[in-house]
């Protein structure tokens, strides 16, 4: 574990040393599923981490690519189901961050991408002598639309609020209704420009 931490710190400092005005930023958010839908009603947000890379700097906008990964949990204690479900959401996207001259510390942004949701169920099965744990996994995916605003605390540190709308497709066995296909997530967090 210490080796991984040391390697991570070394990577961060080496990236920082290559460029005075780095185009990378890291973010850590607390995700809150909202609205009356499959995720909003049944899951609690655990963590959401992101990496952004700006590749175009225009006078009024920065354009880049980002990747977010979030973890959501639904435990058997919360529901009548006899198993725990953990959902991981991976969202690569292209984003635009606007430079507002009159409000230089505020940076509104909009992003468009794709989300992959992986549902992992851990089912405990008991028999006469053995306690068995069985895992199953299922994935869904769909379009992701992201809106956000960041406030610069310092040149490197910023606070942010983001909203993700995810429209997933469902197979023939699941009803194609908003409850099953529309996911809304509010994220609050901090970011650091490397």
Q: Write down the pLDDT at residue 138.
A: 87
CA neighbor of 183 nearest in space, from 131, 151, 127, 145: 145
φ and ψ at residue 127, rounded to 5 degrees: -130, -170
For residue 155, pLDDT beyond 80: yes
Among 4-18, 37-51, 56-70, 179-193, the minimum mean pLDDT is found in: 4-18
Give the separation between CA 109 and CA 127, rounded to whole angstroms.
53
Q: Write down the pLDDT at residue 36.
A: 85
Give the separation between CA 119 and CA 138, rounded to whole angstroms.
5
Where is pLDDT greater, at 26 or 78? 26
The answer to whether residues 87 and 74 touch, using CB atoms and an 8 Å cutoff, is yes
The answer to whether residues 22 and 194 touch, using CB atoms and an 8 Å cutoff, is yes
User: What pLDDT, in 10s, does the model give residues 62-79?
Assistant: 999 999 999 999 866 666
- Provide DSSP, 109-157: EEEEEEEEEEEEEEEEEE-SS-EEEEEEEEEEEEEEEEEEEEEESSSSE
Q: Give the confidence band of 8 by pLDDT, cuts at 50, 70, 90.
A: low
User: What pLDDT, in 10s, does the model give residues 86-137?
Assistant: 999 999 999 999 999 899 999 999 999 999 999 998 776 544 445 656 678 8
What does the radius of gyration of the chain's CA atoms come to, in whole angstroms? 19
The mean pLDDT value of the chain amounts to 84
**Of 20-29, 77-86, 142-151, 171-180, which has the strongest mean pLDDT?**
142-151
């Amino acid at each position: 574990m210490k080796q991984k931490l040391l390697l991570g710190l070394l990577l961060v400092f080496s990236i920082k040393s290559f460029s005075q005005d780095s185009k990378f930023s890291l973010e850590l958010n607390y995700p809150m599923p909202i609205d009356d839908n499959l995720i909003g009603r049944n899951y609690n947000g655990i963590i959401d981490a992101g990496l952004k890379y700006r590749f175009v700097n225009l006078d009024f906008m920065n354009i880049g690519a980002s990747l977010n990964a979030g973890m959501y949990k639904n435990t058997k204690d919360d529901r009548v189901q006899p198993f725990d479900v953990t959902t991981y959401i991976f969202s690569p996207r292209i984003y635009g961050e606007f430079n507002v001259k009159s409000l230089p510390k505020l940076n509104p942004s909009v992003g468009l991408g794709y989300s992959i949701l992986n549902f992992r169920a851990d089912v405990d099965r008991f028999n006469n002598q053995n306690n068995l744990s069985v895992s199953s996994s299922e994935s869904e995916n769909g379009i992701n639309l992201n809106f956000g605003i960041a406030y610069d605390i310092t040149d490197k540190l910023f606070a942010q609020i983001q909203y993700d709308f995810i429209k997933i497709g469902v197979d023939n066995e699941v009803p194609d209704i908003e409850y099953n296909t529309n996911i809304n997530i509010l994220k609050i967090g901090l970011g650091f420009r490397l």
